[in-house]
Structure 1
C-alpha cells in the first residue's frame, strides 16, 4: 500500500506580535480576561500589504528546506485558507508561482479551521491513488483582515500565520505499523452555518464581510465532535486513544483543547500547545503546531500523531499518522 509520509515541516509568522494588552484601550477587555477564557497571550498580525500567499510561500520554503527538497521535486500544492488573496485565482497558484513551480497542480481547499485536515486527507488520497508522489500541503491565513474590532468576543481570538508539510509516497505493508497517514475522518453539517461565519461574500453581498461567532454554542459542538471524529479516525487506523503519543489539535481555545483531551483520556503533556503564542490561526494552526514541535525535536520516528479540528460549516475532522 502506498502511504503518504511527512518528509518536512515549516512555518512562518508575521513579524508584528500583538500582546493582549494591545486591546485594553480599544475594547472592554483585559489581558487577564483573554487569558482566563482562551489561554491566548499574544498573536501575530500580517503587515500592511502582506498577503496570505506571502505567508504561505515562506512556510512552504521552510518545509522544503527541512525536507531537503527543491520545488522541482513537488508534483502539486494544496492550500487551505479562508482568507484568499483574491476571489480567484486560487491562492495556491500564487504560491506556486512564487516558489518558481511551473508544472503540476495547485488548488485551494476551504473548510475554515478544519481546512488543513481536509487538505491533508485530500493529498493523502491523491498520493494513495498514484496521482502524485510529493505534495506540498499548506495552511495559511490572514484573519486580521476579517475582524470586527468592536467585537471583543471574536477579535481577540485570531491571528495570522502559515504552516506547511511536504508529503511523499512510500510503500507500506498496509498495517497500522506503517509510517505516514493511516486514516482520516471528515464531516460537515451545514445547518449549523450561522454559529460561525463571515457576513459577506461575492454572491451574497458583494463585500468581504466580518467574522461572526456564537462562541458558547461552538464550544459545545467542538468538544463533542472533536472527540468523536478522533475516535472514528483512530478506529479506521486500527488504533485506540491509548496508542496516541501526541495530540496536535486545532489551536482555537485552551479550554476546548483541554476538554477534548480529557474526553479522550489524554494528559496535557501529550498535547502540542501553541495557542498562547499564536492565537487561533484557523487553517494554519495545525501545520504551525506540527512545525514548531518538529523543530523542537518533540516527535520521534514511529510515534502516533492525532490531528483534529472544527471550523465554520460546521466542518470537522481528524487525521491519524505515524511519524
Structure 2
C-alpha cells in the first residue's frame, strides 16, 4: 500500500495583532454608546441594555489573550467593528488566495519542493469569499502548480478533512503531491458586537504538503498512519450567510448571517465526542494512548482542549503534550491545529507518534495519526 507523508508546512500570520485590553476597551465603548443612544427605550423596557466585557472574562472563558487580524483599525472602531478589506478587481489576486499562496510557498520550501512538483491544490477553510471560480484554482494559477484544484468547507474541521482527501487521491494515483491550504479571515464573519463571541477569532493561513512517503526527502516529515472523519448534524454552531439571503431581504444583516453558537451546548456535546473519537481511532490501530507524544488539537478554547487531553491520556497533559497557540492566535478555525503542528513538532524524534485533531461546526471532527520519520 502507498504510504503518505506530510513533508512540509507553512504559516502566514498577519502583521497586526489585537490584545484583549484593546478589544475590551473598544467593545465597552460601543456598549456605552449603544446604551446612551437607547436610554429612553431601555428605561421603558423595550430595549435590553448591553453588558460590558472584561479581560478576565475573556481569558477565563477561552484562554485567548490576543489575536492576529488583517485590519486592526476597522475592528477596533466602535462605530464600525468590522475589518476594512477593500474589494479587489478580478485582475488582482483575491485576499484569500494571496494569504494561501504565502503559506503554500513556505510549505513547499520546507519540503524542498517546487510548485511544478505539485499536481493538486485543495483549499479547505470555514468560509470562502466567493462561490466561483474556486479559490484553489486561483492559488494554482499564482503558484504555478500543475493538475487541478478545488475548494472544501467543513468549517473548523476542514484541515483534517482536506488531509484525508489529499492522502486518498495520492494513494489512488490521481496526484503525486498535494497542497492542503487553510486561509482563514475569521474577523470578517465574526460579530464583534456580541459579548459572548467578540473575542473568539483571529486571521491566519496555513498549508500542508503531502506526498508519497517513499519520495519525501525533507528533514521534518511525518508518515500518516491513519485518518478518521466524523460528522453529526447540529444547529449549535451556524452561519446562515449565503446567496439566497437577498431572496429574503427581511433577514439581511441579522445576527445569524455571521458566526453564532450555543457555546455551552457545544462544549457539552463536542468535547466528549472528540475525546472518544481519538480513543476509538487509536484503539482501532492498536496504539495505546500512552504512546502519544503529542496532540495537536483544534485551538478553539483552552478548557475544551484540557478536557480532551485529560480524557485521552487519562491524566493531565504535561509539557508540550498538548501545545497551545490560541493564547496569541485565538481561534483560527481550520488552521488552528496546523499552526500547533507547525510550531510544535520539530523537537520530536524519529518514531514519535502524534495526532492532529480538528473539530467544529457540523458537528464535524477529523483525526490524523502520524509518526515522525
TM-score scaled by structure 1? 0.92
Structure 1 residue runs without a partner (length 5+): 173-177
Could you tell me how far apart the structure 2 residues matched to 1:268 and 1:116 are?
26
Q: Is residue 273–residue 289 contact of structure 1 (8 Å, CA) maintained in 2?
A: yes
User: Is 1:310 aligned with 2:359?
Assistant: yes
Post-superposition offset of 1:271:
1.0
Change (3 A) 1:180 1:34: same
Could you tell me how far apart the structure 2 residues matched to 1:196 and 1:166 are?
29
Deviations 1:280-309 (CA, angstroms, capped at 9, x unpaired): 000111222211224xx3232221111112
- 1:246 counterpart SS class: strand
Post-superposition offset of 1:100:
2.2
Post-superposition offset of 1:3:
1.2
Could you tell me how far apart the structure 2 residues matched to 1:205 and 1:180 are?
47
Could you tell me how far apart the structure 2 residues matched to 1:304 and 1:148 are?
38
Deviations 1:223-249 (CA, angstroms, capped at 9, x unpaired): 111111112222333312111111000
Q: Is residue 261–residue 268 contact of structure 1 (8 Å, CA) maintained in 2?
A: no
User: Is 1:195 aligned with 2:236?
Assistant: yes
User: Is 1:289 aligned with 2:340?
Assistant: yes
| Residue of 313, 317, 322 corresponding to 1:271 | 322
Higher strand share: 1
Deviations 1:189-222 (CA, angstroms, capped at 9, x unpaired): 12x1x20011321135566921111000111122
Structure 2 residue runs without a partner (length 5+): 29-51, 72-84, 87-93, 216-220
| Residue of 141, 147, 151 corresponding to 1:97 | 141
| Residue of 224, 227, 232 corresponding to 2:275 | 227
**Structure with larger Rg:** 2
What's the Cα RMSD here?
A: 1.9
Could you tell me how far apart the structure 2 residues matched to 1:154 and 1:39 are?
13
Deviates more, 1:47-56 or 1:14-23: 47-56
Could you tell me how far apart the structure 2 residues matched to 1:31 and 1:214 are?
21
Deviations 1:52-105 (CA, angstroms, capped at 9, x unpaired): 22221111111111111110111111111122131212211121122122x211
Within-5 A mapping of 1:1-323: 1-25=1-25, 26-27=27-28, 28-47=52-71, 48-49=85-86, 51-101=95-145, 103-171=146-214, 180-190=223-233, 192=234, 194-203=235-244, 209-265=257-313, 267-269=317-319, 270-294=321-345, 297-323=346-372
| Number of equivalenced pairs | 313
